[in-house]
Amino acid sequence: MRLCSPLMEIDPMTVSNIFTQTSCATCGAGTTKPVSVLAISLHPRLSGYIGGGGFDFVFFAQAASTSTVIDLTVLENSPTMKDAYGIGYNCVSFGGEVQYELFLTPTTPIVPAIRIVTSVAKSIILGIRLVRTRGFQAVLSPNERMPNIISNYVVSRLTRRPCVMLLHLIPGYESAIAAKKYGDFTFRSILEYQKDSSRKLHPSDILRAVARYVASKMASQSICITNNAKFEEILRRSGGYSRIKTCRLGGVDEAQIMAIPESSRPFDAIYVSGLISPQKGGFDVLKAWSLVVQRKPSALLVVVGRATLQAENSVRELIRNLELERNVAIPFGLQGVAERKVIYQTMKRSKILLYPSYKDADPGVVKEALACGLPVIMYDAEYATGVHTEMPFLRMIEAGNVSGLAEEFLRLSNQDLGELSDMAVRYSKTFTNAAVFEKQFEVIRSCLSEHNELDSNHR
């Protein structure tokens, strides 16, 4: 089968052999048949923002739609991801279509907690039925959000199928840091970490700590794949995760980026975030820009992303207070999700990406900016040093050092960016969607193979 757009780089014959080296019935090994996998993907919000991990899973599912390695079916509680970013699961550019099952949760006003519990219960019932009637050989959680972990874990246990969990969202980061800070992964360590973070413990913090603890214990008994080497080290040592491996979970759509022509770059810098907040550095970047403008009065920053109404009001108020109205552009507003094509076009009109995020996993915006030829300046937060090393085109500043962020931008902007741009693009070839999913499928195959060998030995 010929693979289309951006997966054209994968040799179908090479990929098709990935799963054929195992020898256990559960994985479908010893045959040329792909492994059949059910992924339960639940959304607390019924529409709109799905997060970086959700966006990565869209591409994972689309890659699977033409794979001879993995046969994926997605069970979802709303068409949120199916319609995400205008991509949809009808993968025309990939030459295939994702097998898709949908059940709906109430859209009328309802307590969010009830909606989540209802979705989890329905997904478990339907998941068990699907595994038993269609013979799925493994269950996969697209991220470590609690509803997904519980649903996939329970279905896995009740149907005696191995469960693979992809760990790449902020809750996983916070749990890992809590384990590192307090020396062990316990309910108390998570609760203490949340108490330290918020300075005042609220009832919701206790419920959140319980949820994270239970979800993490379930994940620790599953096959886990994380995109951050430091997460793996911490969770293996402190969290009891014995079956955990590291590989990238999301890449960049190289074909779509390359299709956008180069243009002049009127924006001196760009900041992009799927959900602008203090944690994502949305306020630090504006404070740093006020320092830049003192030295370069005509400097222009473009902000692209989405924010809650409260966060947007705070952003615009800060711009006014710092007198940056002429130096900060927000061309698409902050209440919608810009299409990826629009984001790439704006990146290619910018010179440098500023991304001072405190909490992340493997931010897609950094990879996309590098693929668009932008040097990147980011904080040296623990997540960042777990996925990247500092390079001439990828600078890391001490987290929270706003003046350092401004100084590094001024230093970088005075250089000839042409060579750095070329280096950034070459580096991005290592995490195209084609490269990422080929490796990811291989790691999943390897993990399932190891699981079944251990399972056979215990019988």
- pLDDT tens per residue across span 294-326: 999 999 999 998 888 999 999 999 999 999 999
* Average pLDDT in the chain: 80
Distance between terminal CA atoms of the chain?
Answer: 39
pLDDT at 367: 94
Please state the rounded mean pLDDT for residues 115-141.
Answer: 92
pLDDT at 8: 25
C-alpha span between 209 and 187 (Å, rounded): 7
Instruction: Kindly state the tokens that stand for 175.
Output: 């749990």
Of 202 and 85, more confident: 202
pLDDT at 92: 35
Of 143 and 292, more confident: 292
Please state the rounded mean pLDDT for residues 91-117.
Answer: 61
Read off the pLDDT band of 44 (50, 70, 90): low
- pLDDT tens per residue across span 384-427: 888 888 999 999 999 999 999 999 999 999 998 999 999 999 99
- The DSSP bridge pattern shows strands 90-91 and 223-226 to be unpaired
pLDDT at 176: 63
Indicate the class that CATH gives domain 7-252+433-458. alpha beta
pLDDT at 76: 83
Give the global pTM.
Answer: 0.81
pLDDT at 9: 29
List the single range of 41-50, 141-150, 235-244, 326-335 with lowest mean pLDDT.
41-50
Per-domain boundaries in the chain: 7-252+433-458, 256-429
Q: What separation in angstroms does the CA of 271 have from each of 340, 366, 441? A: 14, 10, 32
| Residues contacting residue 397 through CB under 8 Å, at least 6 positions apart | 356, 377, 378, 379, 380, 404, 405, 408
C-alpha span between 208 and 178 (Å, rounded): 14
- pLDDT tens per residue across span 160-175: 999 999 987 555 556 6
Tell whether the model's pLDDT for residue 200 goes beyond 70: no
C-alpha span between 324 and 326 (Å, rounded): 5
Read off the pLDDT band of 178 (50, 70, 90): low
Tell whether the model's pLDDT for residue 457 goes beyond 50: yes
List the single range of 335-339, 357-361, 383-387 with lowest mean pLDDT.
335-339
C-alpha span between 205 and 183 (Å, rounded): 21
Tell whether the model's pLDDT for residue 3 goes beyond 70: no
Instruction: Kindly state the tokens that stand for 252.
Output: 């960049």
Contact 37, 159 (CB under 8 A): no
pLDDT at 95: 40
pLDDT at 177: 65
Q: Which residues of 14-37 are buried (b: 16+ CB within 10 A; e: fewer)?
A: ebbebbbebebebbbbeeeebbbb
Percentage of the chain surpassing pLDDT 70?
A: 76
Tell whether the model's pLDDT for residue 431 goes beyond 60: yes
Handedness of CA 375, 380, 383, 389 (dihedral sign): positive
| Residues contacting residue 432 through CB under 8 Å, at least 6 positions apart | 6, 9, 251, 252, 254, 371
List the single range of 2-6, 135-139, 455-459 with lowest mean pLDDT.
2-6
C-alpha span between 76 and 266 (Å, rounded): 42
C-alpha span between 48 and 218 (Å, rounded): 28
Tell whether the model's pLDDT for residue 21 goes beyond 70: no
Tell whether the model's pLDDT for residue 72 goes beyond 70: yes
pLDDT at 6: 26
| Residues contacting residue 69 through CB under 8 Å, at least 6 positions apart | 15, 16, 18, 19, 34, 35, 441, 445
CATH of 256-429, one of 3.40.50.2300, 3.30.470.30, 3.30.70.2860, 3.40.50.2000: 3.40.50.2000
Please state the rounded mean pLDDT for residues 99-113.
Answer: 65
Contact 448, 162 (CB under 8 A): yes
pLDDT at 361: 80
pLDDT at 269: 98
Please state the rounded mean pLDDT for residues 11-33.
Answer: 38
Please state the rounded mean pLDDT for residues 24-47.
Answer: 65
Instruction: Kindly state the tokens that stand for 106.
Output: 């109430």
Q: What separation in angstroms does the CA of 145 have from each of 124, 175, 227, 287, 379? A: 15, 12, 15, 32, 25
Q: Are the folds of 7-252+433-458 and 256-429 the same?
A: yes
* Amino acid at position 211, single letter: A
Please state the rounded mean pLDDT for residues 137-153.
Answer: 90
C-alpha span between 237 and 183 (Å, rounded): 9
Tell whether the model's pLDDT for residue 371 goes beyond 70: yes
Tell whether the model's pLDDT for residue 186 goes beyond 90: no
pLDDT at 110: 62
pLDDT at 357: 94
Instruction: Kindly state the tokens that stand for 95.
Output: 């030459």
pLDDT at 5: 25
Contact 65, 94 (CB under 8 A): yes
Q: What separation in angstroms does the CA of 142 have from each of 50, 94, 155? A: 12, 20, 14
| Residues contacting residue 316 through CB under 8 Å, at least 6 positions apart | none
Residue with tokens 């109404």: 309
